[in-house]
Amino acid sequence: KSLQNNVKITEESLEYLAKALNSNDKQTRILSAKSLYLTLRTHRIKNNVLLELREHVEDRIPDVSVYSIVVYADGLAKLSKLQQPIIRSHIEFLPTIYVFEDLRLGEESFADKVNQNILYVLMNDDKIEKFEDNVFQIFDHILLFENHQQADVIDILRRYSAARHPIPESTIFALEHVVDIPEFSNKVLEVFGNMIKNKQIVSDKILYIFVDTLYLSDNEQLREKSFQLLDTANDNQDISDEIFDILELERAALNINSRSVDSDYAIAYLQTKTKEGKKLTINGFIEITKQIDKLFLLAEKILKVLHNVSINGQIIPNELVDKLVKKFDPVQKQYYLIKIFKSLVKNNQNIPSELSLKLEKALEYKNMCDQVLVIFVLQGQKGEKLSPMIISKILDKFSSLDNSLIMEQYLSVICSVIKKVECFEYDSKNSSSSKTHSQVFDISFIDRVQSALIHALEKGNRDVICKSISGFSELASLGTVKLQIKSIEVLLSLVTKAICDKSMKEEINKILDSSKLEQNQKCILELCNLKYDSNDQLLDILATFDKPKLLEQNFDQINSTIENCPKLNSKALNILIECSNKKDIPDKLLNSIGVLLASTNSKTINSLCCRLIHEMTEAGRKLTDDIISLIFVQD
């Protein structure tokens, strides 16, 4: 009862209670253990009592075991707080009492308190001697399965590794488990840094974190430290080829501004590696910037490095871009600079206004115009506003293109300009006055756009043709733009060709619906859009046309009817006799007519075939020898 009321007792009494733990009487042993537990609030347990308690931490009586563990751990923690010496055997014994699951008497759990005291002792161990393996079992358990004591374990391992003690593989694995947790990351990396200095092998995962510092950190000291650690790791172990290349890239970068020979070698190395796709580190950009500041004229070897970097998709820092812009002279042909600026646009980097002005100036010179124009084409593809002068240059260049891939790039810009409706609003009734509501483009500009779209239809592949049709759709949707005669003719010609699929036809139909067509043009449009459910219905529809100029697809439709529907042969032949372009009847259909003539027993069919062949020759259609022989036989 006295102890429960926090009454202090003598050291001799504490020793007596400790010895009573050896009593043969169970109740005496339990009361002694509990009494020692109650003294914790007011007393400091010395080494001799702790040694006695240690003998009972695994006592078969649960109360004695639990109280002994609690008092033992608490006593050691108090000694540590008071900076009192703790004999080494106590430190070595701590893993024995660490609670991996639970330590409970009745409803009360002592696990957290015991474990906290154990970690406190380990953390404040001034001697920092080498731990036994079982100590690391504690650390591994906490790092892998617990949260609230991980910070303490990491601090212990920092001090331990700084004292040049090795860390076992199991604990290295456990540390990797927490290295990605932001609140622990820096301290865990400090542990790994110590391990590298201690010549221990670390995984690529950790080395790559130090590599990332070379690319991502604004802290110069941190980058330098990471480089030194990677360099040391390279001496300690076999590192991957990729990490080695980055290490050497950083080494070369740091040598750019050294003695002339070293500098030349460093730049040559960077050029080789960036050409292979390797990315430049932050220090690489910093040292190149310093080099550019020192040079009156830009060295081509430096520009080659930056060109490689940019085509690899790496972002060039804005500060360095500004320096390149200042060095750019639009009068001189600076091949690599222009290629770098082109890649800046591809990589979605902001283009300084000063550069835009200089590039526009460069368009005035023939030897640079095409290369510079590509930069503006890329900007236009990304939706950036281009000046009328630049768009005019793009239209001029487009008319001479025949490479479909390049045509598609230019065409996407032209189509994006069309979408800016305000540029094309004008009164078609007063078009002769050449007045435009827009202050940007006039009517002649619209005609040039149509000419470009026509060129795309005539010279491009399927993708280019589809994009050109979309451009015409945009023009037609404005309502005030009148299609050129040539535009209508080319669209009508396209709609009759095999390359034109159903969706393309539908889009062309919509475009032409808004235009005033001649009668023969309407006829072509109707003939290529025939809708029928049977061959008989097809022939009935064709019969409604007055001397039509049949299309290739119509001849194919009739040929299919002759081959597959004998009952309709007479009808089909009459359609062909009525058409106005017998000269255009294809060989396949002519052969079918010949087969029909040779095989028929019908006088009507025979007569129609002969008449058709006769009229074909009058129209200028050349006949095959087989057909001519058949005609002689008939005669």
Taking only the tens place, the pLDDT of each residue in 119-135 is: 999 998 877 888 889 99
- Residue that is last in its domain, among 510, 529, 548: 529
Same domain, 482 and 521: yes
Examine the pLDDT at 432 and tell me if it is beyond 90.
no
Q: How much of the chain exceeds pLDDT 70, in percent?
A: 94
Confidence (pLDDT) at 439: 35
Examine the pLDDT at 466 and tell me if it is beyond 90.
yes
Over the Cα atoms of the chain, what is R_g?
A: 45
Same domain, 561 and 614: yes
Give residue 435's pLDDT band: very low, low, confident or very high (50, 70, 90).
very low
CA-to-CA distance for 271 and 155, rounded, in angstroms? 43
Taking only the tens place, the pLDDT of each residue in 243-287 is: 999 999 999 999 998 877 788 899 999 999 999 999 999 999 999
Which of these, 394, 362, 392, 363, lies nearest to 378 by C-alpha position?
A: 394
CA-to-CA distance for 215 and 621, rounded, in angstroms? 74
Does the residue 116 lie in any domain? Answer: no
Give residue 441's pLDDT band: very low, low, confident or very high (50, 70, 90).
low
Same domain, 564 and 489: no
Tokens (6 digits) for 530: 């025939």
Same domain, 291 and 235: yes
Same domain, 399 and 524: yes
Does the residue 122 lie in any domain? Answer: no
Mean pLDDT in residue range 414-422: 78
Confidence (pLDDT) at 319: 95
* Phi/psi at 210 (5° precision): -65, -35
pTM for this model (two decimals): 0.75
Residue 256's domain comprises 201-314
Same domain, 292 and 394: no
Confidence (pLDDT) at 345: 96
Which of these, 533, 468, 476, lies nearest to 510 by C-alpha position?
A: 476
Up-side HSE of residue 446: CA atoms within 13 Å toward CB?
28
Q: Read off the amino acid at residue 31.
A: L
Give residue 375's pLDDT band: very low, low, confident or very high (50, 70, 90).
very high
Confidence (pLDDT) at 332: 86
Does the residue 375 lie in any domain? Answer: no
Does the residue 513 lie in any domain? Answer: yes
Mean pLDDT in residue range 369-395: 93
- Residue that is last in its domain, among 529, 551, 582: 529
Least confident of 102-111, 140-149, 378-387, 419-428: 419-428
Mean of all residue pLDDT scores within the chain: 90
Confidence (pLDDT) at 424: 52
Confidence (pLDDT) at 106: 87
Same domain, 593 and 475: no
CA-to-CA distance for 162 and 169, rounded, in angstroms? 17
Does the residue 285 lie in any domain? Answer: yes
Does the residue 343 lie in any domain? Answer: no
Q: How much of the chain exceeds pLDDT 90, in percent?
A: 70
* Phi/psi at 12 (5° precision): -60, -40
DSSP states of 382-445: TT----HHHHHHHHHHHTT---HHHHHHHHHHHHHHHT-GGGT---GGGGGGT--S-SS--HHH
Mean pLDDT in residue range 479-492: 89
Same domain, 223 and 261: yes
Mean pLDDT in residue range 72-90: 89
Same domain, 282 and 393: no
For residue 104, the SS3 value is strand
Strand partners, 109: 104
Q: How many domains does the chain contain in total?
A: 3
Residue where the block lists tokens 């890239």: 249
Which DSSP category does 350 fall into?
P
Up-side HSE of residue 618: CA atoms within 13 Å toward CB?
8
Taking only the tens place, the pLDDT of each residue in 57-70 is: 999 999 999 999 99
Same domain, 573 and 482: no
Mean pLDDT in residue range 149-163: 95
Which of these, 454, 428, 426, lies nearest to 441 by C-alpha position?
A: 426
Examine the pLDDT at 431 and tell me if it is beyond 70.
no
Tokens (6 digits) for 53: 């308690």
Does the residue 601 lie in any domain? Answer: yes
Cα-based angle 88, 92, 98 (whole degrees, multiple of 5): 135
Least confident of 2-11, 132-141, 337-346: 2-11
Examine the pLDDT at 299 and tell me if it is beyond 90.
no
Same domain, 398 and 518: yes
Does the residue 480 lie in any domain? Answer: yes
- Residue that is last in its domain, among 314, 330, 345: 314
Same domain, 481 and 555: no
Cβ-proximal residues to 192 (8 Å cutoff; 6+ apart), any chain: 175, 179, 202, 206
